Structure 1
Amino acid sequence: MTPLPDDELASGVSEALAISAGPVPAASDDVAAMRSAYEAGRARWNEPVIDLASVTNDVLRLDRCSMGVRVYRPSSDPALPALVYLHGGGFVVGSLDSHDRIMRQLCRRSGMVVVGVDYPLSPEHRHPEAVVAVEQAVLALAEAPLAYGIDPERVSIGGDSAGAHLALAATLRLRERRPGLIRFMLLYYGLYGLRDSASRRRFADDAYGLTPAELRFYDTCYRGVGADPESAASDLLSCELAGLPPAFIGAAALDPLLDDSLALADAVARARGRAELCIYDGVLHGFLHWSRLVPTAAEALEDGARALRAALLKPPS
């Protein structure tokens, strides 16, 4: 195991790692146990609860499934821009509860409605079920703006880790089905298609939070055994990226997936798109959860909220 370099970690990150340490089951163990441990590990990071104007739970009845959503409102304004947010967790773990504080922070900081989507998890639901479900959820929300108090002309999508992958994948589908519906993408430390990279070789071990075995496990759960590694299920970088909405791409400097974010920003630029890339020093994959202790996490959330405001809030008349 490669030790964490002392000069790369602030004291807050060290404390966050100590708090997060616990008996988390290995990737080869029971998935239900993994999910339970993940939820327990994130529960402390969601305290204390951030107050908002309202937080409500609802169920979307879609063609292929029903999905829970959680609607975070910063005010009673009936037509606010919206961020559809997809939690991380390797497509296998995570929930609206595990990422509650992240979504509350983005709502409060951006002044927008945040709608968390409880998409179907793998391995019970393999690709493309989650992407299709997210696509349908976005369409359903945009088609019922009064019910959710959102402006259907100002809809964005975002997520972290696997959620960032799903956000980009769903946007690619919606680009063809409903051009212009998604106005902005908020993407934190996602995986977009690299199978090998310098950042994976440098940071993929226990010390940095994601091991090669875990990355393979999550990928197999999502795509299935023997799936084509070059397929669009995992390699979004090989897709046609022209015509995508502007994006904010946030990356952790000590993350095995760092190079995925760098590659995406480069690919968007080559497709003549717009992407703001921010790399946060001294932090690891999943660091957004640590905003109580790590100033860099709060900074990254504020940077994303700022980008959302610039893209979607109407200037004063």
Structure 2
Amino acid sequence: MRAAALADNAIEGAPPFTTHELSRARKLNAFLALLPRYHVDRRWNAKLVQTMIGAVQSLVPDAPIRRGEAMNRVAVANGRRVGLRVIHPDGFCRGLYVHFHGGAWVMGNARLDDGITRPIAQHCQTLVAAVDFHNAVDDRLDITLRDCKASVEWLVEHLGEFQVKRIVLGGESSGAHLAAEVLLHLHEHGKAEAVAGFVSMCGGFDLTGSESLRRSTSESLVINGPSALRNLQRLTPSLSAREAEGPLFADLSGLPPALLIAGALDPIVDDSLLMWQRWQQQSGNAECVVFPNAPHGFNRLPTKLAAKANGLLQEWMSRILA
């Protein structure tokens, strides 16, 4: 089934979009079209961005930590030590959301995603553990995956300490790929009983390069499409055969419910659509919503569509944990 047909089916479950919301999104997209696209395959780019992030964060006080709303922990498992940024909600906890940040596998950190994870903690009444995994600027995506698997194994073993019983795994963009691989790892080793659901925002699941990515051009919004494909080609040689293809090609049977949210203008929109199709075929419990006029990472943009997408994810997670 082609992506266009999949999109028509997936969008049936979407919230209604008003003319005003779509018009505002188009206006912002016109502005984004004037900006240079980010080349995710250039490692000097990632190193520069990561240096700037570190410099800013070293100068700006970590307010959530100071107020006691968040704390830093270290997960130790399978010989790996992985940082966790743990965010507490006000009042009781329904469960634990384990979040993997985006950044094309090569940049970003847990604190940078506070704008996403803190609202989830409060609106969903859930504890959030954001993972500070190895950024693969050295092209060692295998180390990144080991960090992610080790951190969640540790969390599963320490659920009693956090006084929760249920977990949701998820992330954005490359982070959604990492969350999916962790879920598959837990499932394969009989450790996924506590996992209640999986959420993805603009996730990448086909590491061979989906059709929409291969069709994309340098004019795609936010990120340069061909550079994203070259980035995959740099990262995958460090992985085993199945992992080098991506979770789209794994056995998805027996998995918990999933929500996948994508943007229609995203070069990797096919990743979400095809992952939804396969998850639905094999486990029968996946939902997918494609937002029109939405580029990659649109949930971080100042639009009503972004607010609606983030709200949809929070409502779904609250329902799953309830």
Paired residue for 2:157?
A: 143
Paired residue for 2:177?
A: 165
Cα distance, 1:182 vs structure 2: 1.5
Cα distance, 1:204 vs structure 2: 3.9
The amino acid of 1:295's aligned partner reads: K
TM-score by length of 2: 0.79
1:124 aligns with 2:141: no
1:71 aligns with 2:71: no
**Is the CA contact 1:25–1:34 (under 8 Å) kept in the aligned structure 2?**
no
The CA RMSD over aligned residues, in Å, is 3.4
1:270 aligns with 2:281: yes
1:56 and 1:258 map into 2 onto residues whose CA distance is 35
1:217 and 1:202 map into 2 onto residues whose CA distance is 13
Cα distance, 1:221 vs structure 2: 4.1
Cα distance, 1:196 vs structure 2: 4.8
Identity %: 24
Paired residue for 1:216?
A: 229
Higher helix share: 2
Deviations 1:93-139 (A, max 9, x none): 11113222011122222121111000112143623322232222112
1:307 aligns with 2:298: no
**Is the CA contact 2:39–2:223 (under 8 Å) kept in the aligned structure 1?**
no
Distance 1:69 1:22, change over 3 A: farther
1:234 and 1:210 map into 2 onto residues whose CA distance is 22
Aligned residue for 2:141, secondary structure, equals: coil
1:212 and 1:22 map into 2 onto residues whose CA distance is 12
2:236 and 2:51 map into 1 onto residues whose CA distance is 23
Ranges in structure 1 where 5+ consecutive residues have no aligned partner: 1-5, 43-47
Q: Alignment partner for residue 58 of structure 1, among 47, 60, 73? A: 73
1:308 and 1:41 map into 2 onto residues whose CA distance is 32
Distance 1:10 1:67, change over 3 A: same
Cα distance, 1:161 vs structure 2: 0.6
1:155 aligns with 2:150: no
**Is the CA contact 1:91–1:218 (under 8 Å) kept in the aligned structure 2?**
no
Cα distance, 1:231 vs structure 2: 3.2
Alignment of 1:9-24 (within 5 A): 9-13=25-29, 17=32
- Size of the aligned set, in residue pairs, is 295
Cα distance, 1:285 vs structure 2: 0.6
**Is the CA contact 1:53–1:74 (under 8 Å) kept in the aligned structure 2?**
no
Alignment of 1:274-289 (within 5 A): 274-289=285-300
1:141 and 1:26 map into 2 onto residues whose CA distance is 31
Cα distance, 1:287 vs structure 2: 1.7
**Is the CA contact 1:119–1:133 (under 8 Å) kept in the aligned structure 2?**
yes
